Amino acid sequence: MKELLLEVIGWLGYLERGPVVLQVLLMVALFALNRHWRRRPLLQRCPKPLQPLIGPVGAALVGLLLALGGLADGLLQFLVVLWLGWSLLDVLHGQLLRWLPESRVHQLQSRLLRPLYLLAAALLLINRLDSVNDLAVIPVGELFGVSLTLGKVFSAALLTYLLLVGSGPPAAVLAWLLQRSIGISDGSRKALELILRYSVVAIGITALCFHVGLNSTALLAIAGGLSVGLGFGIKEVFSNFISGLWLLFEGSVRPGEVLMIDGDPCEVRRLGLRATLLWRDRDNAELLIPNQTFFTEAATTYTASDRMRRSQVSVSAAYHHDPAEVIALLEQTARQVPRVLKQPAPKGLLLNYGDSAINYALRFWIANPMDNVGICSEVNQAIWKAFKEHNIEIPFPQQVQYSMVWPPEDHTPNRRS
């Protein structure tokens, strides 16, 4: 580590040179000027895909003029090229939106493309100040008797990141191809995608350990250390991880299924290493539920075999209306609601005789459990309109109040004269 510190101190000497400071300040000024002028109406007339390129192209022209005048060396041109590459990622973002969903494009840019570009830019800048090959052989310590260099640690960290982040898209494509070939459901496809991704990550990390130089004895020692750690701090994390794998193989909780959580239908979006991500429609909220929760608590699913769900609304009608006519009207009304399934047919029921009304229930089937609240609202509105057209009264409770005097023995009951 002392050698690395000395190398970094050497870089500071290069950055303290007057021409270098001047070029860096000029680059910062050009970047700020670009941020200011991009809001001007004149530049807004430029085609949107080309707008990110205006700043770096203008900076390149300024750098060329300074180079011709002998006022700048290659650092300014180097920074302009990096800026141009970063702007091209913005152009690529717009092009990817034509073929991929916005969420997928954002994930690809923020987790893979932009971090890799920043890493490559940092390596190029370091190589301009020093030699990357010389830095790679700097020793940083030992692990289980294996000497570790800065290059090995960096490559191991980079490959681990690529395995965790970059294995997602290939696994998704392979799972999609298998779905097209053998005809599995969307939920099974997402589960297969996660299983493939976990398998690639596990095999890749094992191969990476051997690449760094760790032998089987070292791997056994690491496994032993992890087993000790399970008893002290990461038992819950490991339990959730194993629970997630078990849920995938068992198929009881898969992405795309709808579960009832605290009385609300929630769609399973992603089954992660530690927790399951669910989406709640009524408030667009995302819930993170630990995987082992599904082993210790009961959960109701509406998509284990299919997505059909029976729903119900309750309504009351006055006693002077014929129950047979009310039930027939309820069933007819439900059949006219577009999102209510015609088969199985809606069913009206007389539940009980209340204090001031007869209580009915209308049961019907819907195709998507996540639409239950909205469809119940449509059915209730249709019932209100149908009752109004057929003059069916929905009574409300009434109470009669009598005045009393105190003490009770002086009270005279109300009597008809």
CATH number at residue 252: 2.30.30.60
Side by side, the strands of the sheet bearing 309-317 are 309-317, 358-366, 347-353
Amino acid symbol at 151: G
131 and 248 share a domain? no
Q: Are residues 8 and 125 in the same domain?
A: yes
Instruction: Give the residue from 307, 270, 308, 306 showing the smallest Cα distance to 289.
Output: 270
The answer on 372 and 249 residing in a single domain is no
In a domain, 267, yes or no: yes
Asked whether 245 and 191 are in contact (CB, 8 A), the reply is no
Same domain, 255 and 353: no
| Alpha carbon distance 330, 382 (integer Å) | 9
* Residues 125 and 87 occupy one common structural domain: yes
Residue 181 lies in a domain: no
User: Are residue 269 and residue 382 in the same domain, yes or no?
Assistant: no
pLDDT in tens, the chain (417 residues): 566 565 556 555 556 666 667 777 777 777 777 766 666 665 556 666 666 677 777 777 776 776 666 665 677 777 778 888 888 888 888 778 777 777 777 877 888 888 888 888 888 887 777 777 777 777 777 766 667 777 778 888 888 888 877 777 778 778 878 878 887 766 667 777 777 887 888 788 777 777 776 666 655 666 666 565 555 556 676 777 777 777 766 666 777 778 888 778 888 888 776 788 888 877 888 888 888 887 777 777 766 666 788 899 999 999 999 999 999 999 999 999 999 999 889 999 999 998 889 999 999 999 888 888 889 999 999 999 999 999 999 988 776 666 666 676 666 665 554
Q: How many residues does the chain have?
A: 417
**Shared domain check, 75 and 19:** yes
Residues 256 and 361 placed together within one structural domain of the fold? no
- Which pLDDT belongs to residue 417? 44
- For the question of whether the overall pTM of this predicted structure is more than 0.75, the answer is no
Among the listed residues 172, 179, 185, the one whose alpha carbon sits nearest the alpha carbon of residue 304: 185
Closest CA to 368 of 303, 293, 300: 303
Token look-up 């979006």 returns: 269
The CA distance from 383 to 331, in Å, is 10
Residues 363 and 289 both lie in one domain: no
* Domain coverage including residue 104: 1-136
Number of structural domains in the chain = 3
Coil vs helix vs strand at 309: strand
Nearest CA to 142 among 131, 133, 152, 154?
152
What's the rounded Cα separation, in Å, for the pair 219 and 213? 10
In a domain, 253, yes or no: yes
- What is the model's pLDDT at position 309? 84
Same domain, 313 and 291: no
Judgement on whether residues 319 and 294 belong to the same structural domain of the protein: no
In this prediction, residue 412 carries a pLDDT of: 64
**Which letter does DSSP use for residue 298 in this model?**
-
Q: List, edge to edge, every strand of the sheet that includes 275-280.
A: 285-290, 275-280, 264-271, 258-261, 300-301
> Is 414 domain-assigned?
no
Shared domain for 110 and 6, answered yes or no, is yes
CATH for 376: 3.30.70.100
Q: Tokens 């068992």 appear where?
A: 250
